Amino acid sequence: MSEIIATYHIKKQGDSQTLANKIAIGLTVGSWTDLTLEDQAHLKKYKGSVVEAVEIGENEHRIKIAYPEHNVTKDFSSILTTVFGKLSLDGKVKLLDLELHQDYVKHFKGPAFGIGGIRDVLKVYERPLVMSIFKGIIGRDVAFFKSQLYEQALSVDIIKDDEILYDVPELPFETRIQEGKKILEQVKEETGRNVLYAVNLSGPVFSLKEKAITAQKLGANALLFNVHAYGLDALKGLRELDLGIPILAHPALSGALCGSDDYGLDYGLLLSKLTRLAGADLILFPAPYGSVPLSTEDANRIVQYALEEQPYKKSLPVPSAGIHPGLVAQLIDDFGKDIVINAGGGVHGHPRGTVAGGRAFLEAIEVYYGRSGGQAYEEAVKLWGTS
């Protein structure tokens, strides 16, 4: 019988084993000793069991529970409701990890492209990729959108919508895709480079599949998705459409779900392990030294889960938030070559504007690999420094 093993950190008065037994029984068969022998025999295979119950401090416990896999269905909502539904409301309990059996995991597709697929589209293999973000786009018109997209596309590999830009009358989703496609074709003609533009897939949850299909028909070549505002199963559903378009998972809202030491889920678990399984090709997360820093441990775990060997493809980790060219060396040192370096203000805030801002990141990568940089990088370092 395969099992889902959940690891918790719990701050609560009481003995670890008693707390663990209560969870194992309470979140599965409900009671055990009160059952008749006949019911026990029938319900044995549905009963959770304690794998570990350790007191790690005063009123502080690490508890691992194994849940029978057939108690849940093949979706995140059932897993999370079983292992952390009511329990998440029961005081200081943090879900640190979930171990899923390979027989179960095969019901989840994981990323469609993965690292290799994204690199094949862009034809960039030997360096980290560079992504930039639309900035100051709210309230703007199509002419502004086209001009900012064109400027970004001249130097970076991927451009993402601002995650707070939805399907608004000034800049409708369909217009952004159609006009964006033309700009990217123009850039391809002028520079020979392939560039991805991730349009923000937004709106009522039950319209998402239809909108994703429309996006594909209109020629979108990437989707941005605020997965944690919608839930992991929404991402899983989009991935299962097999549209042949990479999906970028934005971390918006995840601070509320993962930010506390005592409550919620581990950042690595939610943003990376589960989001990769759900089908994200790119996983955005706040870098440890940016404007909304995560801890180094959280960031490392996110990257580790995105890149570890699994029967499904790897996701590209995307350290973000407050990133500028002076941080490129640190990012590559810390997370390696298979990352996407992502910046908004660090591109558009360059003293000579957006095109030079994107170029400064590429020059910073050149400098990292021992080749000569250039004026744009030097200007960026003068402005932002190297830490």
Return d(Cα 207, Cα 323) in angstroms, integer: 33
In the bound complex, what is the minimum distance in angstroms from residue 287's beta carbon to ligand 1AE? 8
Return d(Cα 126, Cα 129) in angstroms, integer: 9
Return d(Cα 287, Cα 295) in angstroms, integer: 8
Question: Of these, 151, 157, 163, 338, which contacts ligand 1AE (CB under 6 A)?
Answer: 163
The number of angstroms, rounded, from the C-alpha of 125 to the middle of its chain's C-alpha atoms is 22
In the bound complex, what is the minimum distance in angstroms from residue 348's beta carbon to ligand 1AE? 8
Which span (104-112, 265-273, 303-311, 342-350) binds ligand 1AE, by CB under 6 A?
342-350
Question: Of these, 232, 323, 380, 381, which contacts ligand 1AE (CB under 6 A)?
Answer: 323
Contact (Cβ atoms closer than 8 angstroms) between residue 84 and residue 19: no
Quick check: 68 binds ligand 1AE (CB under 6 A)?
Answer: no
Residue with tokens 């100051």: 136
In the bound complex, what is the minimum distance in angstroms from residue 312's beta carbon to ligand 1AE? 24
Which span (78-86, 87-95, 216-224, 317-325) binds ligand 1AE, by CB under 6 A?
317-325
Quick check: 319 binds ligand 1AE (CB under 6 A)?
Answer: no
Number of residues that bind ligand 1AE (CB under 6 A): 14
Return d(Cα 89, Cα 68) in angstroms, integer: 22
Return d(Cα 178, Cα 127) in angstroms, integer: 30
Question: Phi and psi at residue 330, in whole multiples of 5°?
Answer: -65, -40
Return d(Cα 190, Cα 19) in angstroms, integer: 65
Quick check: 48 binds ligand 1AE (CB under 6 A)?
Answer: no
Quick check: 364 binds ligand 1AE (CB under 6 A)?
Answer: no
**Residue with Cβ nearer ligand 1AE (28 or 226):** 226
In the bound complex, what is the minimum distance in angstroms from residue 72's beta carbon to ligand 1AE? 30
**The total number of residues written for the chain in this structure:** 387
**Residue with Cβ nearer ligand 1AE (26 or 345):** 345
Quick check: 343 binds ligand 1AE (CB under 6 A)?
Answer: yes
In the bound complex, what is the minimum distance in angstroms from residue 248's beta carbon to ligand 1AE? 10
Which amino acid is located at 177 in the chain? I
Question: Of these, 148, 202, 320, 354, which contacts ligand 1AE (CB under 6 A)?
Answer: 320
Residues 133-162 close enough to bind ligand 1AE by CB under 6 A: 133
Q: Say what the alpha-carbon torsion angle 6, 10, 14, 16 is, to the nearest 10 degrees.
A: 40
**Residue with Cβ nearer ligand 1AE (19 or 294):** 294
Closest C-alpha to 8, from 273, 232, 263, 198: 263
Given the residues 44, 74, 86, 123, select the one marked as catalytic. 86
> Helices marked H in the chain — which ranges?
16-26, 37-43, 76-84, 102-105, 114-122, 142-153, 173-191, 208-218, 227-230, 232-239, 254-258, 267, 275-278, 296-307, 328-335, 345-348, 354-368, 375-384
Question: Of these, 286, 357, 358, 373, which contacts ligand 1AE (CB under 6 A)?
Answer: 286
Quick check: 322 binds ligand 1AE (CB under 6 A)?
Answer: yes
Quick check: 346 binds ligand 1AE (CB under 6 A)?
Answer: yes
Count Cβ neighbours within 10 Å for each residue of 334-353 and write b for 16 or more, e otherwise: bbeebbbbbbbbbbbbbeee
Q: Which residue is nearest to ligand 1AE (CB)?
A: 344
Residues 171-210 close enough to bind ligand 1AE by CB under 6 A: none
**Which of helix, strand or coil describes residue 361?**
helix
Return d(Cα 129, Cα 248) in angstroms, integer: 14
In the bound complex, what is the minimum distance in angstroms from residue 135's beta carbon to ligand 1AE? 6
In the bound complex, what is the minimum distance in angstroms from residue 349's beta carbon to ligand 1AE? 8
Quick check: 345 binds ligand 1AE (CB under 6 A)?
Answer: yes
86 is a catalytic site residue: yes
**Residue with Cβ nearer ligand 1AE (66 or 343):** 343
Q: Which residues are catalytic?
A: 86
Positions in the binding site for ligand 1AE (CB under 6 A): 133, 163, 251, 284, 286, 291, 320-323, 343-346
